[in-house]
Amino acid sequence: MAEPPLRPRRRFRQPSVIPGFGLTFGYALTVLSLIVLLPLAALVLRASKLGFSGIWEVATDPRVASALKVSFGVSLLAALTASVFGFIVAWVLTRYTFPGRKIVDAVVDLPFALPTAVAGIALAALYAPNGLVGEQLAKLGIEAAYTPLGIFIAMVFIGLPFAVRTVQPLIVEIDKEIEEASATLGAGRLHTLVHVVLPPLIPAVLTGFALAFARGVGEYGSIIFIAGNLPYVSEIAPLLIVIKLSEYDYGGACAIATIMLGISFLTLLAINLIQAWSRRRFGYV
Amino acid sequence: MSSASAVVPPIKSPPIQSDRAASVVTEGRIVRWLLIGVAIVFLALFLVLPLVTVFVQAFAKGWAAYLAAFTEADARSAVRLTLITAAIAVPFNLVFGVAAAWAIAKFEFRGKNLLVTLIDLPFSVSPVVSGLIYVLVFGAQGLLGPWLIAQDVQIIFAIPGIVLATIFVTFPFVARQLIPLMQEQGTAEEEAALTLGASGWHAFRTVTLPNIRWGLLYSVLLCNARAMGEFGAVSVVSGHIRGLTNTLPLHVEILYNEYNFVAAFAVASLLAGLALVTLVVKSLLEWRYADDIAAGARRH
Amino acid sequence: MTDRRQLSFSRLRELAAGAWIAAALSSGAFPSSALAQTELLNVSYDPTRELYKDINAAFAEEWKAKTGETITVRASHGGSGSQARTVIDGIPADVVTLGIPSDIDAIARISKKIDPEWRTKLPNQALPYTSTVVFLVRKGNPKGVKDWGDLVKPDVKVITPNPKTSAGGRWNFLAAWGYAYEKEGKNADKANAFVGELYRQVPVLDTGARGSTVTFAQRGLGDVLPTWENEAYLVFEEFGRDKFDVVVPLTSIYAEPPVALVEANVDKKGTRKAAEAYLQFLYSDKAQALFAKHHYRPSRPEAADKKDLALLPEVKLFKIEDLQGNWDDIQKKNFDSGGLFDQLSKAGR
């Protein structure tokens, strides 16, 4: 899709014969403000009562810092895993034909539609030491449920569709003639993949990674059932918010929430920047 | 434009590529099957197995025990509350999504990227935070709480709070599905209709709507599945009053905590069934109307 | 596009709209507005689900017989701290029946909805029943756990809920501390060290007592679950006596789950009469017998069935107030931010 021609932007909106801008824009902005922006502002307001130093104090409290580290660290690993396997899945789904491909394609969206609490109890039942998978892992001496590994599994679960669905449409769009040209010029398949096919896909992979990461950091429902919730080991930041609330420590809860909100916003911004960069570099998103 | 959203899975024409083993542009047979194997094993292990587990556990003690989970008054009231919540939240987000997509896709204005990012924001906000912000606004210790109490209005720990939190977490779903669809279709057709004397509303109904209908339908389904399944945000604002403010996902947790695992998984299977229906309908739409969707996407 | 498709789409649209309307209709009016009769809300802690099902039904029956009115008592359960938080944030609770006095103190302090002198308003320090902490172990007690001291043996894994969120978790914490304090000749430092050692044996900290029970009983983690006496016997009944044993330690804590009227809410809702009657009912013979039946220790044991009472073992119980002073101090010293639990988990990582 082409960027609309750049015209000098003197006014807020460029003229158009299509009606309804005022109505739809006004409505959308009002709803956005009431439902999303004002409540989020209330959060930031509550946290700002602590002052910057207060928020910093909360963030550097060892237990909070450790929970943030767990949330962000495990989420990074999970998003990385989801990206690698998501890429393989996307590649397989677009490039190869095999029986049941459509079903596999449909399955990818499952974590979008499956409630997180349902995923949580199912994963806990599977990966507990007496569960189907947990039992096998226990034989290998691996504890999955109630450890950071459990958090990782839940985060991969919810992050996978993002990794697949951002890359998939771009693999479809790859012009095979370029690959053919590369092959004709004597490049091996691996060389073609690494030097010709992969580079234009990188922004999409990064976007998928960032989305999976953002979802993983905030995830709560599926994780609390399978994480051990041990301070300094397997306690995630959203759970700590809930714990702070149970201690009537609204300021602390809001401080952690604001930190997470800031990082989410930065992640989304990064995604937008990646896409803008990729538009310039490759001409599409 | 900036909007090839992956926040919600796009509805798309199935990626069909002619692919012959002999072609120079594919991998060797062994590598191919290896990759297919990796993909399938991975998906089976991470996605399918948990789903199967839900149903296996739900039927662990047979049909009678399964059905018993739904005869309880608390379960029925959870179903009812979940339906009410979705019946308000989904149309709300539908109207918002269409309006926002119209403004964003059909017009050029400053700050559009920021607006799109802000619409995306609820998606990346932790569900717990989504609940927390409404407690901060409407709770007794919150900004509007004392005033609301004086007016005798109960927002959180009641249906309005649950609905609000649900709207928040499903906020981007419809808008983000429609924006790229509408953008790809451009404005030429609407302009033509308007030139021929159609009203704006008429142009929307007869020109825009048919172009986006499958995306719209699918986004509504997805929004619905998420609205019915939200746990974290609703958990913070619900108050867990039995028979009153427990939605289905919260009821799952309650049953789970009452050692009633069969019932917990039975109720969970209801939600998992909803997820499956959502996916099946999506696949059917993509398969049955592939030409239509592709044509819509290629129109500009 | 073809007409057929056009048609199928509009039908789909009608179907979808129809489904919504049907859903909205079948659900009737909002539950909150559909209740003309009196309704009470009891905000309670985690393990009392089964108990209050019975109590609420019994109270409704008695209320009907006495006044002719139909009354519904609704219940909400969760970690004691989170439940107190929902009352502070404005859940319209008529009564609170929480796991530990400090949670009711917090409601009184922060929201002012409860009289600060609430403990004096009802008999027995507002404790219709008490309880204690016992151990649930795997069948045959393979790790040989007999008393608190055995919990810190190197190969013993302990499952207990998070003291920050769970009242049961706090009683476990205080019980272990009290044991060590007495054993070490009233040396608080040594007691602190013992508790720290104990929490290093804990692989999972669930947010509520129920979560811990599920982890221990259903998921098979850990060797011993120190828990509410009532909870231990309930697990015994729910999961089968062939899987677990209850071990009663030599000494344990006098656990006090108190009840209180949420004054501001009942006055606003006009439910004071019924709510007060409900709290009084908790001291009636019928309720006292139900407490014993659910393995709580009734404050008036003479009203309970002898058979139920016989199941409650003789334990030497100590009161934490006798060792640590008043509840404000107990809460602050142990569980508030920067308190003993925080220090111990920081040191233990």
Instruction: Retrieve residue B98's tokens.
Output: 């269409």
Instruction: Judge whether residue B21 has pLDDT over 50.
Output: no
Q: Would you say C233 and C246 are in contact if contact means Cβ atoms under 8 Å apart?
A: yes
DSSP state of A128: S
Instruction: Judge whether residue C28 has pLDDT over 80.
Output: no
What is the Cα–Cα distance from C52 to B241, expressed in whole angstroms? 13
**Residue C83's closest chain A neighbor by CA?**
A246
Cβ–Cβ gap B80/C210 under 8 Å = no
Instruction: Judge whether residue B5 has pLDDT over 90.
Output: no
Q: Give the residue, A202 or C266, on which the prediction is more confident.
A: C266
Confidence of residue A8 (pLDDT cuts 50, 70, 90): low
Across chain C, how many H-helices and E-strands are there?
16, 11
Spatial neighbors of C178 by CB under 8 A, at least 6 apart, are C191, C251, C253, C318, C320, C323
Confidence of residue C301 (pLDDT cuts 50, 70, 90): very high
pLDDT (0 to 100) of residue B298: 46
Give the ipTM of the model, two decimals please.
0.85
CB nearest to B84's CB, from C9, C24, C88: C24
Cβ–Cβ gap C207/A239 under 8 Å = yes
Q: Would you say C18 and C49 are in contact if contact means Cβ atoms under 8 Å apart?
A: no
Residue C333 CA to chain centroid, in angstroms? 22
Considering chain C, what percentage of its residues have pLDDT values greater than 70?
Answer: 89
pLDDT (0 to 100) of residue C24: 44
CA-based nearest distance B283→chain A, Å: 6
CB nearest to A243's CB, from C110, C162, C345: C162
Confidence of residue C3 (pLDDT cuts 50, 70, 90): very low
What is the Cα–Cα distance from A241 to B55, expressed in whole angstroms? 32
Please check whether residue A210 touches B, CB under 8 A: no
pLDDT (0 to 100) of residue A234: 87
Instruction: Judge whether residue B299 has pLDDT over 90.
Output: no
Cα C40-C74-B241 angle, rounded to 5 deg? 120
What residues of C are in contact with residue B128 (Cβ under 8 Å)? none
Task: Tell how strand C95-97 and strand C259-261 pair up.
Answer: antiparallel
Please check whether residue A12 touches B, CB under 8 A: yes
CB nearest to A130's CB, from C84, C206, C220: C220
Stretch B12-28: mean pLDDT = 56
Mean pLDDT of chain C: 88
Q: Which residue has the tokens 């994480």?
A: A227
Please check whether residue C89 touches B, CB under 8 A: yes
H or E stretch at C292 = helix C285-293
Instruction: Judge whether residue A3 has pLDDT over 60.
Output: no
Instruction: Show which subunits contact A, needing at least 3 CB pairs below 8 angstroms.
Output: B, C
Give me the total of CB pairs closer than 8 Å, taking one residue from chain A and one from chain C. 75
Task: Tell how strand C244-247 and strand C133-138 pair up.
Answer: antiparallel
Stretch C286-299: mean pLDDT = 96
CB nearest to A229's CB, from C82, C162, C346: C162
Considering chain A, what percentage of its residues have pLDDT values greater than 90?
Answer: 40
Cβ–Cβ gap B24/A180 under 8 Å = yes
Cα B48-B214-B186 angle, rounded to 5 deg? 125
Stretch B189-212: mean pLDDT = 89
What is the Cα–Cα distance from A263 to A187, expressed in whole angstroms? 42
pLDDT (0 to 100) of residue C74: 94
Please check whether residue C206 touches B, CB under 8 A: no
CA-based nearest distance C219→chain A, Å: 6
Instruction: Retrieve residue B6's tokens.
Output: 């992956």
Q: Is B126 helix (H, G, I), strand (E, B) or coil?
A: coil
pLDDT (0 to 100) of residue C8: 44
Q: Model confidence over A126-158: pLDDT tens digits?
A: 998 888 899 999 899 888 888 899 999 999 999
Q: Model confidence over B218-252: pLDDT tens digits?
A: 899 989 999 999 999 999 999 999 889 999 999 99
Cβ–Cβ gap C32/B158 under 8 Å = yes
Please check whether residue C74 touches B, CB under 8 A: yes
Confidence of residue C26 (pLDDT cuts 50, 70, 90): very low
Residues 215-234 of A with CB under 8 A from B: 215, 217-221
**Selection from C43, C49, C98 nearest residue C275 by Cα:** C43
**Selection from A59, A39, A71, A54 nearest residue A239 by Cα:** A71
Cα A228-A234-A239 angle, rounded to 5 deg? 85
Instruction: Judge whether residue A165 has pLDDT over 50.
Output: yes
DSSP state of A131: S
Residues 54-83 of A with CB under 8 A from B: none
CA-based nearest distance B128→chain C, Å: 13
Instruction: Retrieve residue B77's tokens.
Output: 């009231």
Q: Model confidence over A262-271: pLDDT tens digits?
A: 888 888 888 8
**Selection from C229, C253, C119 nearest residue C175 by Cα:** C253
Least confident span in A80-89, A115-124, A199-208, C13-22: C13-22
Least confident span in B25-29, B202-206, C91-95: B25-29
Q: Give the residue, A192 or C278, on which the prediction is more confident.
A: C278
Whole-Å CA distances, C75 to B69, B81, C83: 19, 17, 11
pLDDT (0 to 100) of residue B152: 85
**Residue C53's closest chain B neighbor by CA?**
B242
User: Using a CB cutoff of 8 Å and minimum separation of 24, what contacts does C11-17 make?
Assistant: C12/B217, C16/B217, C16/B220
Cβ–Cβ gap A248/C106 under 8 Å = yes
Residues 136-195 of A with CB under 8 A from C: 145-146
Q: Would you say C147 and C250 are in contact if contact means Cβ atoms under 8 Å apart?
A: yes
What residues of B are in contact with residue C233 (Cβ under 8 Å)? none
Q: Model confidence over A229-263: pLDDT tens digits?
A: 887 888 899 999 988 888 888 899 999 999 998 88
Positive or negative: CA dihedral A257, A259, A265, A270: negative
pLDDT (0 to 100) of residue B292: 66
**Selection from C313, C163, C138 nearest residue C224 by Cα:** C138
pLDDT (0 to 100) of residue C21: 45
DSSP states of C96-154 = EE-SSHHHHHHHHHHH--S-TTGGGSSHHHH-SEEB-EEEEEETT-TT---SGGGGGST
pLDDT (0 to 100) of residue A5: 52
pLDDT (0 to 100) of residue B130: 94
Instruction: Determine how many CB atoms are found less than 10 A away from the CB of residue C176.
Output: 27
What residues of C are in contact with residue B243 (Cβ under 8 Å)? 31, 74
Confidence of residue A285 (pLDDT cuts 50, 70, 90): very low
What residues of B are in contact with residue C168 (Cβ under 8 Å)? none
CB nearest to A109's CB, from B120, B187, B279: B279
Please check whether residue A187 touches B, CB under 8 A: no
What residues of B are in contact with residue A99 (Cβ under 8 Å)? none
H or E stretch at C179 = helix C167-183
What is the Cα–Cα distance from C280 to B293, expressed in whole angstroms? 67
What is the Cα–Cα distance from C134 to C175, expressed in whole angstroms? 10
Phi, psi (rounded to 5 degrees) for A131: -90, 175
Instruction: Retrieve residue C186's tokens.
Output: 């009233």
Instruction: Retrieve residue C210's tokens.
Output: 């129920």
Which residue intervals of chain B are DSSP H helices?
A: 29-43, 49-58, 62-71, 73-106, 112-124, 127-138, 145-150, 159-169, 171-185, 188-195, 200-203, 209-229, 232-238, 248-257, 261-288, 290-298
CA-based nearest distance A244→chain C, Å: 9
Confidence of residue A42 (pLDDT cuts 50, 70, 90): very high
Q: Would you say C76 and B242 are in contact if contact means Cβ atoms under 8 Å apart?
A: yes
Cβ–Cβ gap B257/C26 under 8 Å = no
Instruction: Determine how many CB atoms are found less than 10 A away from the CB of residue A6.
Output: 7
Phi, psi (rounded to 5 degrees) for C246: -100, 130
Q: Which of A227-245 are b and which e, b meaning 16 or more Cβ less than 10 Å from the residue's Cβ?
A: bbbbbbbbbbbbbbbbbbb
Q: Would you say C221 and C176 are in contact if contact means Cβ atoms under 8 Å apart?
A: no
CB nearest to C219's CB, from A63, A66, A128: A128
Instruction: Retrieve residue C348's tokens.
Output: 């233990």
A46-60, B281-295, C89-103, range with greatest mean pLDDT = C89-103
Adjacent-strand bridge partners of B241? C76
Q: Is C227 helix (H, G, I), strand (E, B) or coil?
A: strand
Cβ–Cβ gap C85/A245 under 8 Å = yes
Q: Is B25 helix (H, G, I), strand (E, B) or coil?
A: coil
**Residue B18's closest chain A neighbor by CA?**
A95
How many residues in chain B?
300
Q: Is C43 helix (H, G, I), strand (E, B) or coil?
A: strand
Stretch B268-282: mean pLDDT = 91
Instruction: Judge whether residue A275 has pLDDT over 90.
Output: no
What residues of C are in contact with residue A60 (Cβ under 8 Å)? none
Spatial neighbors of B275 by CB under 8 A, at least 6 apart, are A110, A113, A114, A115, A118, B225, B229
Cβ–Cβ gap B275/A91 under 8 Å = no
What is the Cα–Cα distance from B38 to B41, expressed in whole angstroms? 5
Stretch B27-48: mean pLDDT = 90
Instruction: Determine how many CB atoms are found less than 10 A away from the CB of residue B71.
Output: 8
Positive or negative: CA dihedral B166, B169, B175, B180: negative
Q: Model confidence over A168-189: pLDDT tens digits?
A: 888 888 877 888 888 888 878 8
CB nearest to C23's CB, from B87, B240, B289: B87
Q: Would you say A227 and A150 are in contact if contact means Cβ atoms under 8 Å apart?
A: yes
CB nearest to C90's CB, from B91, B145, B241: B145
Cβ–Cβ gap C111/B258 under 8 Å = no
Spatial neighbors of C128 by CB under 8 A, at least 6 apart, are C122, C259, C282, C283, C287, C288, C291, C298, C299
Mean pLDDT of chain A: 87
**Residue B222's closest chain A neighbor by CA?**
A113
Instruction: Judge whether residue B85 has pLDDT over 90.
Output: yes
What is the Cα–Cα distance from C323 to A283, expressed in whole angstroms? 73
Q: Give the residue, C37 or B299, on which the prediction is more confident.
A: C37
User: Per DSSP, which regions of chain C are E strands?
Assistant: 38-44, 71-76, 95-97, 129-130, 133-138, 224-228, 244-247, 251-253, 259-261, 297-298, 316-318
Cβ–Cβ gap C81/A232 under 8 Å = no
Cβ–Cβ gap B243/C31 under 8 Å = yes
Please check whether residue A194 touches B, CB under 8 A: no
Q: Model confidence over B128-158: pLDDT tens digits?
A: 999 999 999 999 888 998 899 888 889 999 9
What is the Cα–Cα distance from A144 to B197, expressed in whole angstroms? 65
What residues of A are in contact with residue B129 (Cβ under 8 Å)? 43, 218, 238, 241, 257, 260-261
List residues of B whose CB lies inside 8 A of any C CB. Answer: 77, 80-81, 83-84, 86-87, 90-91, 135, 138-142, 145, 149, 152, 154, 156-159, 210, 213, 217, 220, 239-245, 254, 256-259, 261, 289, 292
DSSP states of C295-323 = T-EESSGGGS-HHHHHHS---EEE-HHHH
Give me the half-sphere count of Cα atoms (radius 13 Å) on the Cβ side of residue B152: 5
Q: Would you say C153 and C296 are in contact if contact means Cβ atoms under 8 Å apart?
A: no
